[in-house]
Amino acid sequence: MENMGRMISLNGSNYHLWKGKMEDLLFVKEFHVPVFEEKKPVEKTDDQWKLQHRQVCGLIRQWVDDNVLNHIENEIDARSLWLKLEQLYARKTGNDKMYMIKKLIELRMSLCNSTSNGVISMDMVKNSVLNEETRRQSNASSSRSDVLVTESRGRSSSRDPKKDKNRSRSKSNKFANLECHYCHKKGHIKKDCWKLKKDKQQGKQEEVDRVTITDDQFLILLEDDAINVCQDTSWVVDSGATTHATSQRDLFSTYTPGSYGSVKMGNDGLAQVVGIGDICLETSIGTRLMLKDVKHVPDLRMNLISTRRLDDEGFYSLHGGGKWKLSRGSLVVARGEKLSSFYLMQAKVSKDSVNALENDHAMELWHKRLGHMSEKGMSVLSKKEAIPRISGLHLEKCAHCLRGKQHMVSFKSSVPSRKPKVLDLVHSDVCGPMKTKSLGGASYFVTFIDDHSRKLWVFTMRTKDQVLGYFKQFVALVERQTGKKLKCIRSDNGGEYSGPFDVYCKEHGIRHQFTPPKTPQLNGLAERMNRTIVERMRCLISQSGLAMTFWGEALSTVVHVLNLSPSAPLEGDIPERVWTGKNVSYGHLRVFGCKAFVHIPKDERSKLEMKSRQCVFIGYGQDEFGYRFYDPVKKKLIRSRDVVFMEDQTIKDIDKSGNPTQSYESLIDSVVAPSTSVHGHVEDEVQVDTPGADAPAHDDGIGDHDDDHGETPTTENPPIVRRSERGLKPSTRYDPSEYVLLTDGGEPESFDEALEDEHKDEWHDAMGDEMDSFAENHTFELVKLPKGKKALLNKWVYKIKHDETSLSPRYKARLVVKGYGQKKGIDYDEIFSPVVKMSSIRVVLGLAASLDLEVEQMDVKTAFLHGDLEEEIYMVQPEGFMKKGKEDLVCRLKKSLYGLKQAPRQWYKKFESVMGEHGYKKTTSDHCVFVQMFGEDDFIVLLLYVDDMLIVGKNLSRIQELKNQLGKSFAMKDLGPAKQILGMRIVRDRGEKLIYLSQERYIEKVLQRFHMDNSKVVSTPLATHFRLNSQQSPKTKLEKEDMARVSYASAVGSLMYAMVCTRPDIAHAVGTVSRFLSNPGREHWNAVKWILRYLRGTS
């Protein structure tokens, strides 16, 4: 009884046979009680029971293969171990059932021939199947090719028993027990197979086990050993397949059932493809791989990945050395190993992406994704298979819908009708004011609805008088899209639709229909739409838990979903489809306010920084790719398409202990309009100061629809690339100009952005101040552009300045001429203008400290506007300030402007002239140092750096007199005692006669720009192990491409400015790294980073 020579080891595919033998063994050894009894026997102590459990676990683990042992190696309870094996290997899936049917078919004839009466009992069949399995394993036939799906192979009819017998006898005895992989005869191997040679001569293809999908969609070859080593998490990498496939329904994150063709076998047998969807995998190296349009074939026995399909999606597949690697650009996405004649990848389903839910859960999920659409609308989409079919469609009462939509029972209404063509009639109405302003400062929104298609456009507004401006945008947009003219617009009698609005309609031939006073029913479509929008907004705010300040984002989402929702007047058709004539998709929809992990691009994070951050999903991009997100930790809005959603969680589930951060270009919470165009993808952020963004929502923050009837440019550097052992290739996904790195943040990049910024009032006032300066200085006059002359373009540049003496920032707007359009000899001649030397600043400040002199500071407002021009230059009118009725005129410049090549020189000449008139002389060593002596020890020294001045003297009254004189000639700002100059902070200790200069803020910005703000500090400017020389410069093409993405020159320049101003301790180190500016290498860049680490520790 102790003989266990007949016991077999569990390899994953022989579970039923192994189970019977193992049960017998457990009973023989009297170890069966811990396996089959849940309760401890009374006669056993706890220690004895635990010991027996461990003994049984040890016994079972002795009879399993390594691939099975991985699943149970930590189990210490015998019953749990037994049930786990049963769960893993005794599933009644389509694979197992069809595999057993195949075995029965193979055995039928041989069994009938061996039975005298031709009758076979089920027990007999079962035992015969098990015996046949054991026989084949004992005869070393496990390497015979086996089918992946049901296939009744039988034995080949072309085999000749006599020839087989003779052939096998003629071979050496060393092949006696081996089976040919081609003809499946024993006694020889495949290379010596006579049938293979004969078939090749006849041009016949090798008769192997293949799986194909009709229309040449799929092709794979596998053997038994492949099946034996594979697990549920194994994926076979197939270079011949043209689509991904799996038999496991529970792997899909999105799934659409239906008939998608058949799987054709090598012997013309068929198996059905019963569904298609997406699968998100988490690979063994921790990355996520999304497989699109995976075929669901229940009869497949393996998971298959098509490298052809991956190649079409931009991935690069590399085989060699027994390894397989899948990459995208420089990022390795997955790895695999070669087993037998195929490559195998291990991956499990990403938990964050699985949405294979029960019907009730799926119904609720799509209800949220569709912005709380009604059950009727969802039923229409489900029947059209626009969303996955959900059997027994029934929507339970939604608390958020009751909060946001509940109203009185409606009266009987007339049957809706619509115009025959688009733009025949557009309905419009204004809704607001809201009790809470949106992130962009809006209090109202205006709707425009096309009567024929029911397509909806919505624009947020700060005031009602903006309706006309947005109506003009709307008309230009829809007429360009359709090629048709708007014929009629219907609105109420609100004041925003009268006066200029009515005049505009008459001028453009647009009929304007007004509803009678106090009869909103006649504008029912717009009124009802406003109610629908507000109700949906309430639902989304309630569902998400976001603050009421996010109503603009909720509005954008509602509009997007409504344009994709079935409409009763359209007989269930979709407004977006009717408007564009194209089918719409719902696969991109997600639950508003859900938690999401947004990927941080690798060139904007260091090696060890987190690769994603937790955000809240707040809507869809309008004129761009990607989704919109809110980072509650950093109070930022982000746009991205590289994201993983967790739709069952909200802002309350986000860990606010910290989030990876980075800088992006500004994002606008602006006009909410349907998607009409697509631009390149750029992730972006903007600071959002929202009070309690995660505070609970209140229903009274959004008003009902009835309320509307009540009364200096800088060039940024590209991101720094982290060092990698892998070869790098320049990214081709985005244009380099689309990567914008902001070191101070929150500043608009254009006039349009400024108007939609949360500080739009401050920016508007700043631009107004600039225009007032133009008027006061008579900077330009409006004239017609002479023939042959060209008007230069201009741009508004915005800057937030932080004063040491004030807690609130200063908002500055400056109009800059695009001087790159100037031509030498025509638009300018000399352009050189001096600035004060840094050594002069240090000498004068040192003199002030030792002699206890007064140090005052002044700033010239719009300094370049004071310079007189000698050339004839024209410029287009500033954006946003075009003279009404004179839009065709241009500005002839009388004085210089920022951006003109000669502007600095003309300003300096003007200032030098004024200082000479007041008795000041420039020094010969520095032409920006002006001095006047009033006595032996009474003097004043003025230092000029463009428009910043330091005034040093002993007599404060004389200094004030100079300030008054300058104020008569220029628009000046008196900043009082000097606190900061050229980014240097000035701290004075008059008692000790000391002046301290610091560039702490500047150095912090430099560290942030080059992603060194969290680096490890060092104690020396340059370590001794750096032996820098030209031999370390890049030589290969790959090395040069790698360094081309590093902002070496910019970093050295930043260090040099700090060195010249306040950090002479890094002079030697900076001088060393600056020798390699023409062709820097990786080691040179490491030295630069070392200096930055030193500055971080000493600033």
Q: How many residues would you count in the chain?
A: 1099
* DSSP type of residue 970: S
Calpha distance 33→42 (Å, rounded): 12
619, 553 contact by CB (below 8 A): yes
* DSSP type of residue 701: G
966, 842 contact by CB (below 8 A): no
User: Mapping DSSP to helix (H, G, I), strand (E, B) and coil, where does residue 1042 land?
Assistant: helix
350, 370 contact by CB (below 8 A): no
Q: Which residue has the tokens 């820097």?
A: 1080
* DSSP type of residue 99: H
896, 867 contact by CB (below 8 A): yes
Q: How far apart are the first and last CA of the chain?
A: 81
Residue 592 CA: distances (Å) to CA of 303, 532, 588, 1000: 34, 17, 12, 42
* DSSP type of residue 934: S
Residues 6+ apart with CB under 8 A from 877: 782, 883, 887, 889, 890, 891
- Look up residue 364 and give its two tokens: 């609720």
Q: Is 238 a catalytic residue?
A: yes
803, 810 contact by CB (below 8 A): yes
Q: What is the CA radius of gyration of the chain?
A: 39
Calpha distance 926→875 (Å, rounded): 35
Q: At 958, which amino acid appears? A: R
Residue environment code for 1027-1036, b if the CB has 16+ CB neighbours within 10 A, otherwise e: ebeeebbbee
582, 724 contact by CB (below 8 A): no
Calpha distance 1088→564 (Å, rounded): 54
Calpha distance 270→267 (Å, rounded): 9
Calpha distance 740→745 (Å, rounded): 11
User: Mapping DSSP to helix (H, G, I), strand (E, B) and coil, where does residue 103 land?
Assistant: helix
Element (H, E) at 857: strand 854-860
Residue 296 CA: distances (Å) to CA of 269, 431, 881: 17, 48, 61
According to DSSP, the β-strands at 511-514 and 595-599 are unpaired
Q: Which of 146, 238, 352, 450 is catalytic?
A: 238
Four-residue CA torsion sign, 103, 106, 110, 112: positive
Beta-bridged to residue 980, according to DSSP, are 985
Residue 1086 CA: distances (Å) to CA of 471, 960, 1057, 1078: 56, 51, 19, 16
| Percent helix, strand and coil across the chain, each to the nearest 5 | 35, 20, 45
Element (H, E) at 141: none
User: Mapping DSSP to helix (H, G, I), strand (E, B) and coil, where does residue 360 land?
Assistant: helix
Calpha distance 386→586 (Å, rounded): 7
For the beta sheet containing 939-945, the strands, ordered from the edge strand earlier in sequence to the opposite edge, are: 921-922, 929-933, 939-945, 948-953, 854-860, 972-977
Active site residues: 238
